[in-house]
């Protein structure tokens, strides 16, 4: 669609509710008003609108803290059709909203059709305080974002269909957006905790690891449960610290390795307090692994720069090339900021790039046990091509202990 016209969104696929009064609006900062039917909780929320191209895993997406401050537009039309359950949640607190502010879907929510479901998607949205709008041509909205960039907007749901549209337009236009926003402090755990849960196994559920070969300290900028599960599976005993932890607090725990988690917001803003802690770990020579926001802040600590992206990367089918091997991985991504690969200093190697736009997706420090990736190797949702990176991290710790390496 070369010139997307979102005003035609309700015309392309007639739906039963089109003769009804709209009970939800998505109002963009440029004044565009998109009508639909409200789902989830009622009220209003201002946020950045992004799009996600994954066809599965909507529950994991909407509980990923990296989406804090955003409204997720799903390009796949059938969202909510398998209901929700108590296992596919990525927030550490199972009952707390991850910070996502809204969901935009195309078709009405059907009744659950999956043996694992224990709650209707609409009821689940209400329970987590997420506002939704259905009946939108989400692909037209996606085309608009691709043309004009990530949009600030207000999502509103009122069962009586009464809205002050002009006030919503002013609110959307007046919001400052995510540049300069430190959102990690809003989603990080308030205190230190330990972790022993391992990945889900068919017909068995989640396991546990009470003892670990390696002690890993993870900085929680909005960490996902499946990251911790995969680290535990690799033999790690995990201590998770709040985002504001200092380098001294990290080293006092005598970790074998340090992990920098994913998270939301502008990495430069979170870096105001986190970069010094990361520099302390770098200087200590401890194996270090970062994902997503953790990758971006590692780059900042090493002297690189980050920048806001035009449309961001959000989906479960993003091809990434490992420049060191030539291998291509299909990855899960969720980020609206990126590391400027050209800003990395000479002692830092750019290891991975996006095959969609050439943007930086990985780095490693030459001669040191330090690396990071922009994408989400833990998936949830997404492909498992990149699970080997967790073995790579533990191999760095094995090397420091003089232990035999494991194949990736």
Using an 8 Å Cβ cutoff, are 336 and 374 in contact?
A: no
CB neighbour list of residue 244: distance below 8 Å, 6 or more residues apart: 185, 188, 273, 274
Place of tokens 């607090």: 249
Cα–Cα distance, 55 to 370 (Å, whole number):
33
Chain centroid, CA 106 distance in Å: 22
Q: How many CB atoms lie within 10 A of CB 333?
A: 24
Active-site hit among 314, 318, 335, 376: 376
Chain centroid, CA 185 distance in Å: 15
Cα–Cα distance, 344 to 349 (Å, whole number):
8
Structure tokens at 222: 């909005």
Report residue 250: phi and psi, to 5°: -65, -50
In what helix (H) or strand (E) does residue 198 lie, and over which residues does it extend? strand 197-201
Cα–Cα distance, 260 to 219 (Å, whole number):
5
Is 292 considered catalytic here? yes
Active-site hit among 292, 314, 335, 352: 292
Angle between helices 293-301 and 267-284 (to 10 degrees): 60
188 burial level (CB within 10 Å; 0-12, 13-18, 19+): buried
Helix (H, G, I), strand (E, B) or coil at 247: helix
Is 378 considered catalytic here? yes
CB neighbour list of residue 55: distance below 8 Å, 6 or more residues apart: 76, 316
Active-site hit among 48, 90, 171, 378: 378
Pairing label, strands 360-365, 348-354 = antiparallel
- Residues noted as catalytic: 292, 376, 378
């Amino acid at each position: 669609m070369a010139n997307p016209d979102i005003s035609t969104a309700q015309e392309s696929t007639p739906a039963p509710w089109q003769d009804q009064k709209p009970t939800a609006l998505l109002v963009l900062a440029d004044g565009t008003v998109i009508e639909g039917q409200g789902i989830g909780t009622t009220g209003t929320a201002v946020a950045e609108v992004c799009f996600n191209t994954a066809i599965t895993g909507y529950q994991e997406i909407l509980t990923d803290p990296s989406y804090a401050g955003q409204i997720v537009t799903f390009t796949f039309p059938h969202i909510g059709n398998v209901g929700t359950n108590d296992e596919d949640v990525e927030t550490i607190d199972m009952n707390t909203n991850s910070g996502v502010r809204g969901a935009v879907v195309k078709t009405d929510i059907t009744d659950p059709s999956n043996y694992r479901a224990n709650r209707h998607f609409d009821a689940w949205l209400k329970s987590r305080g997420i506002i939704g709008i259905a009946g939108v041509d989400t692909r037209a909205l996606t085309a608009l974002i691709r043309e004009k960039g990530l949009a600030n907007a207000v999502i509103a749901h009122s069962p009586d269909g009464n809205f002050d549209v002009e006030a919503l337009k002013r609110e959307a236009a007046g919001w400052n957006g995510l540049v300069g926003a430190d959102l990690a402090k809003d989603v990080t755990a308030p205190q230190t905790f330990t972790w022993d849960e391992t990945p889900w196994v068919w017909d068995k559920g989640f396991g546990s690891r009470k003892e670990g070969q390696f002690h890993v300290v993870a900085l929680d900028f909005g960490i996902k449960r499946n990251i911790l599960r995969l680290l535990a599976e690799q033999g790690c005993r995990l201590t998770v610290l709040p985002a504001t932890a200092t380098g001294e607090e990290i080293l006092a725990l005598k970790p074998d390795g340090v992990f920098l988690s994913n998270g939301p917001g502008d990495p430069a803003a979170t870096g105001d307090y986190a970069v010094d802690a990361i520099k302390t770990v770098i200087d200590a020579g401890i194996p270090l692994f970062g994902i997503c926001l953790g990758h971006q802040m590692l780059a900042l600590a090493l002297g690189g720069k980050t920048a806001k992206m035009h449309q961001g990367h959000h989906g479960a089918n993003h091809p990434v090339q490992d420049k060191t091997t030539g291998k291509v991985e299909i990855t899960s991504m969720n980020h609206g900021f990126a590391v400027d690969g050209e800003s990395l200093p000479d002692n830092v190697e750019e290891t991975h790039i996006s095959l969609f736009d050439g943007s930086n997706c990985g780095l490693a420090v030459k001669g040191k046990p330090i690396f990071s990736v922009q994408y989400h190797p833990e998936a949830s949702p997404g492909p498992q091509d990149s699970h080997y990176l967790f073995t790579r991290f533990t191999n760095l710790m094995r090397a420091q202990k003089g232990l035999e390496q494991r194949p990736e």
